[in-house]
């Protein structure tokens, strides 16, 4: 990645996270990054395209976590909590308030819905792969729950995303940990 592109992405992140998508502008990013608006417009013809490229780059960097999760050798629920908390919280942990978080969420849905859906699918597939491994290793069972590994993985990912995006949850990490503990209890292997 070009140094100017990295500088633009880093500054765009700061501007989006401090001011929100709606208030941030190419002029603001140019001013803070000390990269001319002409240079920014040559690489990104609009704020929407810059935002989309920023999200795409962020998600590509997070793809390393998917493989690390699949290859992890720990217990399913601990590894899944670590994976989901990293994957779902890092993007929002530096946002100062719920209004900006909501603004960014709406911008993401408007300009990056396909990228976010691809990310959901990758996350669900990783969870499903780990579920299959955990079932083979007799770490858990879905027989009591009555869901396929696909259905269960989709549910776990959706619930984790909802918790992390909620503005009404005071401590999303603790809420997710508690929720995954409930899933863990429901999926325990019964030796009876």
Say whether 32 sits in a helix, a strand or coil.
Answer: helix
Close Cβ partners of 86 (under 8 Å, ≥ 6 residues apart): 62, 65
Mean pLDDT of 143-149: 92
* Domain range annotation of the chain: 3-186
Phi and psi angles of residue 33, each rounded to the nearest 5 degrees, phi first? -85, -15
Predicted pLDDT at 90: 59
Homologous superfamily of 3-186: Tetracycline Repressor, domain 2 (1.10.357.10)
What counts of helices (H) and strands (E) characterise the chain? Answer: 9, 0
**Banded model confidence at residue 110, pLDDT cuts 50, 70, 90:** very high
Predicted confidence (pLDDT) at residue 192 exceeds the cutoff of 60: no
Predicted confidence (pLDDT) at residue 167 exceeds the cutoff of 80: no
Look over the chain and give the mean of its residue pLDDT values, rounded to a whole number: 89
Phi and psi angles of residue 44, each rounded to the nearest 5 degrees, phi first? -140, 110
Predicted confidence (pLDDT) at residue 1 exceeds the cutoff of 70: no
Predicted pLDDT at 163: 82
Mean pLDDT of 7-23: 93
Predicted pLDDT at 91: 63
Give residue-wise pLDDT tens across range 35-65.
999 999 999 999 999 999 989 988 888 888 8
**Banded model confidence at residue 69, pLDDT cuts 50, 70, 90:** very high
Least confident residue range of 49-63, 77-91, 171-185: 77-91
């Amino acid at each position: 990645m070009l140094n100017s592109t990295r500088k633009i992405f880093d500054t765009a992140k700061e501007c989006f996270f401090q001011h929100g998508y709606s208030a941030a502008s190419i002029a603001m990013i140019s001013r803070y990054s000390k990269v001319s608006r002409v240079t920014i417009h040559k690489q990104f013809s609009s704020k929407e395209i810059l935002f989309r490229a920023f999200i795409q780059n962020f998600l590509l960097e997070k793809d390393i976590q998917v493989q690390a999760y699949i290859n992890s050798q720990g217990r399913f629920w601990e590894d899944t909590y670590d994976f989901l908390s990293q994957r779902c919280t890092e993007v929002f942990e530096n946002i100062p308030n719920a209004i900006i978080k909501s603004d960014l969420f709406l911008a993401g849905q408007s300009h990056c819905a396909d990228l976010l859906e691809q990310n959901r699918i990758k996350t669900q597939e990783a969870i499903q792969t780990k579920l299959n491994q955990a079932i083979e290793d007799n770490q858990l069972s879905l027989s009591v729950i009555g869901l396929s590994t696909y259905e269960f993985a989709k549910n776990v990912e959706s619930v984790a995303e909802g918790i992390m995006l909620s503005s009404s949850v005071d401590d999303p990490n603790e809420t997710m940990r508690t929720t995954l503990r409930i899933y863990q209890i429901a999926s325990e292997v019964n030796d009876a």
